[in-house]
Structure 1
Amino acid sequence: MRISTAQFYYQNSQRLTDKQSNVNDQMKYISSGKRVLTAKDDAVSFGTLTGYKSEIENIEKYQRNITIGENRNSLIETSFGNAERILQELKTTFIQANNGTLSDSDLQALADIIKDGQDQLLDIANTKDETGGFIFSGFQIDVQPFSLQPDNSVSYNGDSGQRQLQVAKNILVDTNIPGDYAFEKVKNNLGDFSPTYNSNTSGIGVNKAVIATPGSYDPATNPPGYTFNFSSATDLTVTDDNGVTVYSTATYVPGQTVAFNGVEVQLNGNPLPGDNFTLDAEEEISIFDTIKSAIEWVEAGQSPANSTQHNVEYGEILDQINAALNHTVTQRTEAGVRLKLIENQDNNHQDALLNLEQGRSNIEDLDFAKAISTFEQSQVALQAAQQTFVQIKGLTLFNYI
């Protein structure tokens, strides 16, 4: 078989190139520390490795969300803890104000303390997170949620949006609480209605006013604004907002349940002729409205216009402060539950990540001892080929003459 010089050079050049390429590949494996770099290295392992990496990337995304969720809920939990403390101090001050020995100036000083507490609570309600967004404004994170009005009322400027982050494949966690839910939607301690006392000489008060039978409640036909009028201690007439009589009895007994239009009302105390009050629908009462009522009650001083009614209002305000405290504790507890959920999910991700990294390592990571041995063998083979080629290409027939 005849081999031309050109063919000889081509074949040897090709062989040297292959061996050099093999050495370069070995260097890439060693420098990267990985056994599988592309699908051609090991197609089956490369496909499995892609799955591992995809799961690891997902978990890393969830962990970033977990960090954000943990920070936000920790801030919420701390905020409600501070709000609980302020409300407890406000309650103590309000109880202190119900003391007949205090002067008007003493009561005004206590009212100022309650106002300071209102300012502190307002500051909490306008808390910002690490990004500068308001945590109690719903979706409108750039809008200050609460603002104090000249009459000591507080208005809410946010919305009811609930922001969430995904911390696992099927698990979402809240990262905020809308301000209306956090501070305005406190359950009315009396039920579904609040009284306005038009005339109260006996000191009667509403103990309960609830929609007991929702199917029978028809606010369109008999709208609330239910006025209770005692023409005598036993004669009671109840009219709706249209002036239509919805209940009437001449044998009222103190403490009995008055039922009409699906509504049940129970009073405490013994009514006197002329006692009159109106019930308006109000299922929830703002914490700030309760504080406003407390301020106004204390500022009424030692000689309120109607001392009997003043005493009735004291009990109702105190009960609603307790309801606000319970609401705040509930909100704080819910934030704590979310933090526990986040912690558990973080632990689950850590365990899963450890297993995935181990699986990835088993497939991808390089056996350095074996790789270096292979690399050295490839280098020796390349050097031998190079030396052989140099020696052979210098041979001619003149060497044998």
Structure 2
Amino acid sequence: MRISTGQMFQQSTNSILEKQSATNSIMGQISSGKRVETAGDDPVAAIAIDNLKQKNTLVEQYEKNIDYATNRLGLTESKIGSTETLIASMREQLLRGANGSLSSNERQMIADEMKQSLEELLSIANSQDESGNYLFAGTKTNNQPFAFDASGEIVYSGDSGIRKSVVASGIAMTTNIPGDTAFMNAANPLGDYGVNYLSSQQGEFNLTSAKITDETSHTADTYTFDFIDNGAGIDLQVVDSAGTVATTVTNFDATNSVSFNGIEVTLSGNPVAGDSFTIEPLETVSIFDAFNQAITFLESPDATTTAQGKSQLAQLLNDIDSGQNQVSTARSIAGNNLKGLESISSNHSEEKIINSSALSMLEDLDFAEAITEFEKQQLALNAISSVFSSVGSLSLFDYI
């Protein structure tokens, strides 16, 4: 078969270009350290590599979200921890001020200390993060959540909104504790009603429980408890706000509960004839209200020596303890979420290691094999170039 000079040159040129391309490709792989640089190098591996890289990108975004959530929750947990310490200190101040041997001036000094502590507590509740967002405002992060109103009560202007951050597939972790959850809505230690002790009180007693036991027969109202001398003991008469008698208990015994209108009330101590107190619906108590009332209590003349004052002190301590339990629960929520984030972050780290290992197997270059292949291609290229050079220089005239 005849091969024209043009065909010979074309075939030789194609061979040289093919070997040069193969050599350059291997040089590129050696330079980058990657076996698969384009889909053409290995289409099947390229698809798997792309999927793994997408997974790692998603995991990295999850890790950023975890970092954000961890920072917010860590700061929140720290502030709530400071709140717990401050509440314990203020409770001690109240007990110190309730010492009956103190003068009114000494009690006022302690009340002034408590006012400063209350201001500090308010400052903690209005804490902001590095971006100026209020930690305990719910979703209203641009508005200061706590402030004194015109009557001197601390009110909450945030909401109960929960902010979440997606930290894994199908998992959104809470990143905040609303202010009402942390400070405002502690469980009423008495149950469903609050108590108001009257200045006419002579007997030493206090209310220990006032709970709704039957919703169907319950009528929410303000009820007055009057203890009446019956000659041989005392009777208890309970009347509603309209003056209608709700129940009468003859020969009242404080060891027995009093039930009426779907409510069960329990007392501790020994009321005497002429004593009275009232109860009214109250679902929750606020740690701020408790300390405001404690300050007013310490500023009242002879508050710690009267029967009414002793009953009020017992109730204040119960309210403070309930508020402190609420704050501790909020701190536990933040701590549990932080622990959950740590676990999820660890899982992401392991996933990235597995993905990176799989990526390495698919796309990383075996340098020994690549260098051997490079040398083979280089040798073949040199051989083709040498043959082409020799054949290209031949001429028929050299043999004539």
- Cα distance in 1 for partners of 2:241, 2:39 equals 79
Change (3 A) 1:383 1:142: farther
Q: Deviations over 1:164-187 (max 9, x none)?
A: 223333433221100000100111
Q: What's 1:316 paired with?
A: 315
Q: What's 1:211 paired with?
A: 212
Which one is further off, 249-258 or 79-88? 249-258
Q: What's 2:324 paired with?
A: 325
Which one is further off, 55-64 or 281-290? 55-64
Q: What's 1:225 paired with?
A: 222
Whether the 8 Å CA contact 2:56–2:352 is kept in 1: the answer is yes
Instruction: Give SS of 1:39's match.
Output: coil
1:391 counterpart letter in structure 2 = S
Change (3 A) 1:388 1:239: farther
Which one is further off, 230-239 or 253-262? 230-239
Change (3 A) 1:127 1:107: same
Which one is further off, 224-233 or 359-368? 224-233
Shift of 1:79: 1.1
- Cα distance in 1 for partners of 2:138, 2:259 equals 39
Change (3 A) 1:111 1:305: closer
Gap regions ≥5 residues in structure 1: none
Instruction: Give SS of 2:336's match.
Output: helix
The answer to whether structure 1 residue 36 and structure 2 residue 36 are counterparts is: yes
Whether the 8 Å CA contact 2:257–2:265 is kept in 1: the answer is yes
Change (3 A) 1:3 1:341: same
Gap regions ≥5 residues in structure 2: none
Which one is further off, 283-292 or 151-160? 151-160
How does 1:59-138 map onto structure 2 within 5 Å? 59-138=59-138
Whether the 8 Å CA contact 1:202–1:269 is kept in 2: the answer is no
Instruction: Give SS of 2:270's match.
Output: coil
Whether the 8 Å CA contact 2:201–2:276 is kept in 1: the answer is no
Q: What's 1:262 paired with?
A: 262
- Cα distance in 2 for partners of 1:234, 1:207 equals 20
- Cα distance in 2 for partners of 1:57, 1:240 equals 67
Aligned residues: 396
Q: Deviations over 1:125-169 (max 9, x none)?
A: 112223332111111121111113354321111111111223333
Q: What's 2:348 paired with?
A: 349
Which one is further off, 237-246 or 62-71? 237-246
Q: What's 1:194 paired with?
A: 194
Q: What's 1:367 paired with?
A: 366
Change (3 A) 1:370 1:225: same
Shift of 1:82: 0.7
Whether the 8 Å CA contact 1:223–1:241 is kept in 2: the answer is no
Q: Deviations over 1:368-397 (max 9, x none)?
A: 111122123223323333343333333332
Whether the 8 Å CA contact 1:223–1:242 is kept in 2: the answer is no
Change (3 A) 1:4 1:245: farther
1:212 counterpart letter in structure 2 = T
Q: C-alpha root-mean-square deviation of aligned residues, in Å?
A: 2.5
- Cα distance in 2 for partners of 1:242, 1:352 equals 69
Q: Deviations over 1:43-78 (max 9, x none)?
A: 333333334333333332222222222222221221
- Cα distance in 2 for partners of 1:369, 1:287 equals 72
Shift of 1:33: 1.2
Which one is further off, 19-28 or 83-92? 19-28
TM-score when normalising by structure 1: 0.90
Instruction: Give SS of 2:314's match.
Output: helix
2:113 counterpart letter in structure 1 = I
- Cα distance in 1 for partners of 2:176, 2:392 equals 80
- Cα distance in 1 for partners of 2:305, 2:217 equals 34
Instruction: Give SS of 2:266's match.
Output: strand
- Cα distance in 2 for partners of 1:44, 1:199 equals 87
Change (3 A) 1:6 1:226: farther
Instruction: Give SS of 1:320's match.
Output: helix
Instruction: Give SS of 1:95's match.
Output: helix
Which one is further off, 49-58 or 83-92? 49-58
2:311 counterpart letter in structure 1 = V
Change (3 A) 1:380 1:250: same
Whether the 8 Å CA contact 1:199–1:276 is kept in 2: the answer is no
Instruction: Give SS of 1:235's match.
Output: strand
Q: What's 1:184 paired with?
A: 184
Q: What's 1:389 paired with?
A: 388
1:223 counterpart letter in structure 2 = A
TM-score when normalising by structure 2: 0.90
2:191 counterpart letter in structure 1 = G
Q: Percent identity?
A: 37
Shift of 1:117: 1.0
Change (3 A) 1:169 1:217: farther
Which one is further off, 2-11 or 110-119? 2-11
- Cα distance in 1 for partners of 2:339, 2:383 equals 66
Q: Deviations over 1:211-258 (max 9, x none)?
A: 234x4354xxx2232333334463333344555543333343223211
Instruction: Give SS of 2:234's match.
Output: coil
